Amino acid sequence: MLQRVLFFAGLLCGMGLLASPALHAQTHLPDTVHLHEVRVAVPRYTRYAAGARVQTVDTLLLKRQPGITLAEVLQQRSPLYLKSYGNGMLATVTFRGTSASHTAVLWNGFNIALPTLGESDFALLPPSPNTTVALQHGASGALHGTGAIGGAVVLENPVTFTPRQTVRVQQEWGSFGHSRTAASGSFSNGRLALTTAFTRTAADNDFRFRNTTAFGAPLETQQNAAFDQNSFAQELHYKLNQEQRLSVRGWYVKTHRQVQPSMGSANNHAEQDDENLRLMGEWQGQLAGGTTTVRAAWFRDQLDYREAGTPSLSLVHTYQSQVEHERQLLPHLLVQAGAEGQLFRAQVGGYGTDKEEKRFSAYSWLRYDPVPRLQLSLNVRQAWVEGFNPPLTPTLGANFQLVENPQHTLSLKGNVSRSYRVPTLNNRFWVPGGNPDLKPEAGWGYEGGLAHHVKTGGLSGTTEVTVYAQQVKDWIQWRPADRGGYPEAVNLSKVRGHGLELDTRWQYQPLPHWTLTAGLAYAYTVSRQQLPDAGARLQDRQLFYVPKHKVASWAEVRHQGWWLTADATFTGQRFTDNDNNNWLEPYALVNASLGKSFAWRSLEAQLMAQVHNLTNTVYQTMAYRAMPPRSFRLALSLQWAKANPSL
Amino acid sequence: MKLTYFKKSFLCVLAGGTLLTTSCDSNEDNAPKGAYEHGVFITNEGQFTHTNAEVSYLSRDTTTFIPELFKQVNNRPLGDAAQSMTFIGDKAYIAVNNSEKIEVVDAYTFASTGVINGLKIPRYMAALNTTKAYVTEHVGYPYLGYTGTGRVAVLDLTTNTVTKTINVGLQPEGLLLHNGLLYVANSDDNTISVINTTTDAVVASLPVGEAPKHLVLDASNKIWVLRGGYSAPGALVKIDPANNHALTTYGFAPGELGAGQLTINGAKNTLYYSYGGKVYAMSTSATAAPGTALINRNAYGLGLDPETNLLYLGVGGYNSNGWAVRYQTSGAVIDSFQVRILPNGFSFR
């Protein structure tokens, strides 16, 4: 198996590098080490993540294909495993062999996981084009709070007052009823900055597939899998004076989905409506030698599911606030302290009555560079939840530069981190079976690695290798209640894992008008719990839907307005049950796109053609959930940007 | 026996025709009709919406155990949420509730022979004869907002089709045929619906109390109903069909809640049932329900092999292999077999 993966990886590298003698610089190099770089628009916590693995995702996809969901972006650009129930259907992401609820998702500092389920559906997250997406692999309870056991997906909309006026519209058409419309605008006069983005995506998903669960394995047309999604994001930033600014951000996503039945299940014509409204305000001021930030947010998350009769409704209001202060205590010592409060108000049919839960946490982050070659971070967070207290979660991390010269830097990194996850509202309040006495899950992660940057002539690249070990205790699972007849949430199992991650990204510019970029991310993941075999002897079993091997790779050639992009992923065998009785076979998936932009004064037009699943691979990421065969898309966009007089 | 075999063989030789050879080869007394002609069949419900339902097979001498019988024989998954399995004639019928189908297999080889579609959440089956059967259907789930009635579908087993549906109470579960009448337990209701199998119409509704689940018939032709939800203690209710459906209730002690499975021994004089996460035994001549449990273990599935008089308990979680555990009727454990997810029932043949 490993040989096969390495062959595949090698093939893609070769393909990318040989495809053209030149490339362009769209790879975003990770910023994890240099203290003096922190004032630029990188996630606010990055400077406290010494020794941890934080990877920015190439957000070119978001800009080229506004409306694309995080599910699609991460499938193409990360080594994470996505469990997708169909094209546009429920999609969850796991880091390092944990589960979907062990992935924290933060939007401009706030956790946006659905508090009822404790996880995020990545098909419901189409980030606006100016969003930066960073992936923190590994436990990080001190930085990201509850749920950051396997890792965290961090979405930020950076503040910029650079004067600009742009308007962009885009229309895309595709196979199986796919259509996507996007419009966005951005304005700033140096004091006020406004950004607006609207997208609408719809698909019929009426593709053909072979139903291998039915007698005779007939070819069928996928039923009940259409969806449409509207997203509207608005940002307003206002500079009160040189020291203070106000920001307001809103993100509204409304998604209607038919719920694609699995091949073996009846089409029960289920439908799901999700409506997620997120509003936040932020004030930031440079006061008393430090930076103080106050944030408040209100989320309204509605999820309605129905098969027959009246829908099953769930509505949660989340109120959050955060206060934090950051200051440079010494020339080489940066500290941030903060506190946050959350209030959840849930109206869920299954709870019987409306429920409320309050959570608080306080944290302190510290970054210390005793010598230029060494960066240390020490972070700690303590959370308080009504009824029980999660453990204190510290993190200690370090980077050490082994080699630093104009061409190369090589750093050694290491990190030890604790994490926790508060039981979800469903875990605690569902009737019957919800268990108010559940303990929070708690985990430890240990990692070390090497990071290498090179820049010589037209070639630059960064490569990071990480090895890790982790364990999660008191993992919450549902099991048949002792009193029988219904499921009950209990702190059941303990999961141990270890693995290796490789991430390498390159750009090469051999001639002035030729650019080549390529990247590859590989994850080797072992994540196991002990379960009895047929002889009742405990055996290590790989968690279900955790592939041991996943490779994601991409390459792009740009030349005078033309670009050709290909991405390919390889996903290894995945067990579909925890006992490892059954599994899905490995598969490879290839997408490609060709684009050309035409500029005329302040107008720019782009035409792009895409092929998804180029090799027409039959694959599933969840057992018996059919995925689309080869499909095509064509997009046309128009952009108008006012020439900036100050430039 | 030997003599019989010899005679039959002799007849075959005399007949000499190739057509007859086949029937002689599958000689009932001596050659098995298939690898799985006799034994214990364990229905594994599987994870809801996951298409990993299965049937496990255990030979009575325990020398043969096949955890994934359906997939092994038919090279495809059984479906999503197997509810029950019923032997009728030479066939076995597996009701797969979230696939909304009944898979039909050869009772001896377990090879798939057909499927009955057009059902809504099929639960349990009972056969009037080898051509006509009934299956209870939930139609919808209350937790998803469904408030309509449940129903019973009438099946034509020669064509594998639904010929009629009969509306009954909410969430019909167990059913029992006796003396030309079909008794249906409406588990989200307080009644047993009685259907005339000649007219296929509901003729009576018996008020037995909250949440009737399963029914069995005892040696003196009394029908026993296990009932009980989560708001008040449940009971065993005895129905006397010969006496205008007179009801006698054997209430359970307060404290425990939740009716599970009900079965009866081969002599049809001892009831075994699961309730409140424990397994109890009660003689059909007892005057009150037992106060102490036979087995302090939560049985998701419960069965009694009428041939060997051994009790089978199905235990396990929602996302890992479960166990079929064999007990003496004294409550002493014998051994266990690792089956698949959520063993919810046992069929003996």
Q: What angle do CA A99, A591, A585 make, to 5 degrees?
A: 50
CB B99 within 8 A of CB B116: no
Contact assignment for A482 to B321 by CB distance below 8 Å: no
Write out the two tokens for A259.
Answer: 């719920």
Q: Which pLDDT band, with edges at 50, 70 and 90, does A18 fall under?
A: very low
Distance of CA A362 to the CA centre of its chain: 25
H or E, element range at B24: helix B18-25
Instruction: Give A446-455 pLDDT, tens digit per residue.
Output: 999 999 999 9
- Look at residue B318 in the predicted model and tell me its pLDDT: 82
Q: Which of residues 239-258 of B touch A (CB under 8 A)?
A: 256-258
- Listing from the earlier edge strand, what are the strands of the sheet with B40-44? B65-66, B54-58, B40-44, B343-348
Spatial distance between the Cα atoms of B322 and A482, rounded to a whole number of angstroms: 15
CB-CB neighbours of B191 under 10 Å = 19
Instruction: Give A396-417 pLDDT, tens digit per residue.
Output: 999 999 999 999 999 999 999 9
Min Cα–Cα distance to chain A from B196, Å: 30
Min Cα–Cα distance to chain A from B231, Å: 11
Work out the average pLDDT over B217-230. Answer: 95
SS3 B4: helix
Domain ranges of chain A: 2-643
Indicate whether A359 pLDDT > 80.
yes
A265 contact residues in B (CB cutoff 8 A):
49, 51, 79-80, 98-99
Instruction: Give B292-344 pLDDT, tens digit per residue.
Output: 999 999 999 999 999 999 999 999 878 889 999 999 999 999 999 999 999 99
| A2-643: CATH architecture | Beta Barrel (2.40)
A165 touches chain B (CB under 8 A): no
Write out the two tokens for A197.
Answer: 């983005």
Residue in A309, A492, A536 closest to B146 by CB: A309
Nearest CA to A241 out of A294, A280, A286, A187 is that of A286
Spatial distance between the Cα atoms of B341 and B330, rounded to a whole number of angstroms: 27
Write out the two tokens for A15.
Answer: 């393909």
CB A175 within 8 A of CB A632: yes
A532 contact residues in B (CB cutoff 8 A):
321, 338
- Look at residue A638 in the predicted model and tell me its pLDDT: 97
Ranked by mean pLDDT, the top range of A215-224, A565-574, B227-236 is A565-574
Min Cα–Cα distance to chain B from A197, Å: 35
State pTM to two decimals. 0.86
Cβ neighbourhood burial of A444 (10 Å; 0-12, 13-18, 19+): middle
Q: Compute the residue count for chain B.
A: 349
Q: What is the DSSP string of B49-115?
A: TSS--EEEEE-TTSS-EETTHHHHHHSS---S-EEEEEEETTEEEEEEGGGTEEEEEETTT--EEEE
Nearest CA to A481 out of B298, B45, B293 is that of B298
Min Cα–Cα distance to chain B from A580, Å: 9
**Residue A557 DSSP one-character state:** E
B320 contact residues in A (CB cutoff 8 A):
531, 577-579
Contact assignment for A624 to B77 by CB distance below 8 Å: yes
Instruction: Give B245-256 pLDDT, tens digit per residue.
Output: 999 999 999 877
Write out the two tokens for A341.
Answer: 């409060």
Q: Which pLDDT band, with edges at 50, 70 and 90, does A477 fall under?
A: confident
Q: Which pLDDT band, with edges at 50, 70 and 90, does B4 fall under?
A: very low
Spatial distance between the Cα atoms of A139 and A443, rounded to a whole number of angstroms: 7
Residue with tokens 């009555």: A353
Q: Which long-range contacts (CB under 8 A, 24 or more apart) does A291-295 make?
A: A291/A325, A291/A326, A291/A327, A292/A323, A292/A324, A292/A325, A292/A326, A293/A322, A293/A323, A293/A324, A293/A325, A293/A326, A294/A321, A294/A322, A294/A323, A295/A108, A295/A109, A295/A110, A295/A320, A295/A321, A295/A322, A295/A323
Q: Which of residues 97-116 of A touch B (CB under 8 A)?
A: none
Write out the two tokens for B266.
Answer: 């081969």
Separation in Å, CA A286 to CA A38, A430, B201? 15, 45, 81
Nearest CA to B162 out of B154, B150, B174 is that of B154
A352: closest chain B residue by CA: B143
Instruction: Give B104-118 pLDDT, tens digit per residue.
Output: 999 999 999 999 999
Mean pLDDT, chain B, as a whole number? 90
Q: Which pLDDT band, with edges at 50, 70 and 90, does A486 fall under?
A: confident
Work out the average pLDDT over A472-494. Answer: 81
What are the φ and ψ backbone dihedral angles of B75, each rounded to 5 degrees? 60, 35
Work out the average pLDDT over A331-347. Answer: 95
Indicate whether A25 pLDDT > 50.
no
| Interface ipTM above 0.85 | no
B141 touches chain A (CB under 8 A): yes
Residue with tokens 């037009």: A605
Indicate whether A28 pLDDT > 50.
no
H or E, element range at B301: strand B301-305
Percent over 90 (pLDDT), chain B: 81
- Look at residue A483 in the predicted model and tell me its pLDDT: 66
**Residue B289 DSSP one-character state:** -
Min Cα–Cα distance to chain B from A575, Å: 12
A306 touches chain B (CB under 8 A): yes
B145 contact residues in A (CB cutoff 8 A):
306-312
Spatial distance between the Cα atoms of A572 and A591, rounded to a whole number of angstroms: 18
Number of H helices, E strands in chain B: 3, 27
Of residues B17 and A614, more confidence is placed in A614
Spatial distance between the Cα atoms of A57 and A156, rounded to a whole number of angstroms: 12
Residue in B49, B51, B298 closest to A484 by CB: B298
CB B238 within 8 A of CB B227: no
Percent over 70 (pLDDT), chain B: 91
Spatial distance between the Cα atoms of A111 and A148, rounded to a whole number of angstroms: 10
Min Cα–Cα distance to chain A from B207, Å: 23
Q: Which of residues 313-372 of A touch B (CB under 8 A)?
A: 349-350
Residue in A311, A479, A484 closest to B317 by CB: A479
Instruction: Give B62-110 pLDDT, tens digit per residue.
Output: 999 999 999 999 999 999 999 999 999 999 999 999 999 999 999 999 9
What are the φ and ψ backbone dihedral angles of B63, each rounded to 5 degrees? -80, -25
B79 touches chain A (CB under 8 A): yes
What are the φ and ψ backbone dihedral angles of A305, each rounded to 5 degrees? -125, 135
What are the φ and ψ backbone dihedral angles of A366, each rounded to 5 degrees? -140, 135
Determine how β-strand A151-156 pairs with β-strand A103-107.
parallel
